[in-house]
Amino acid sequence: MAGADEEAPMFDWDGAARTHAAAQERAWDEQMYANHEEWLQNSWGGWAVRTIRGFADNSFFRAIADSLNGQDGEQTATSIILSNGARNGARLAVILAMILLTLAAGYVIQLIVGQDIVVEQEVIVEEEIREGDEEEDEEDAKEDDMGPREEVVTRRGARDRKKDK
């Protein structure tokens, strides 16, 4: 009965969960790479990225990048910047192309529509003139004895008269 004293090994639930999570992440990564490859093959942006990568993979450009490495084969700051520029340059070129395309389309639309959009509004001010106001103006004209008025006459509005009372 020596086997009765020994316990059966327990199932490692944590290990199974980690294995399942790792498999799930691999599946997500594979799906992401498949979607990216489909984008590269089926879109204008993908075409631009493939074209620029084709220039970056040219042996001449690789020779320039290799010549920038140090004598011991270690990478210098310049070679790191150029290699990152070659890798990420495709994305930056697509973004720059989209910005330039938007600016060009805006310029063409502005040429078609015109340079400036001018909004003109007419403002009509109506003023009620009472008989009392006309009489006051006539009395003022008689007192001044200047003849016909050549200066601008400002009238007190109804609101100002109400404040005075």
Question: pLDDT tens for residues 69-113?
Answer: 666 667 777 777 777 776 777 778 788 889 999 999 999 988 888
Neighbours of 90 (CB within 10 A): 20
In the chain, beta strands by DSSP E? none
Q: Which pTM does this prediction carry?
A: 0.35
Pull the structure tokens for residue 161: 């008269």
Q: Identify the weakest region by mean pLDDT among 12-26, 40-54, 118-132, 141-155.
A: 141-155
Q: What is the DSSP string of 8-70?
A: PPPP-HHHHHHHHHHHHHHHHHHHHHHHHHHHHHHSHHHHHHHHHHHHHTSHHHHHHHHHTS-
The predicted structure's pLDDT at residue 99: 94
pLDDT band at 61 (very low <50, low <70, confident <90, very high): confident
118 or 38, which is more confident: 38
Which pLDDT score is estimated for 40?
87
Q: Which pLDDT score is estimated for 105?
A: 93
pLDDT of residue 64: 74
Return the structure tokens found at 46.
Answer: 């993908």
- In this prediction, residue 35 has a pLDDT band, given cuts at 50, 70 and 90, of very high
Is the model's pLDDT at 116 over the cut of 90? no
Identify the pLDDT of residue 132.
67
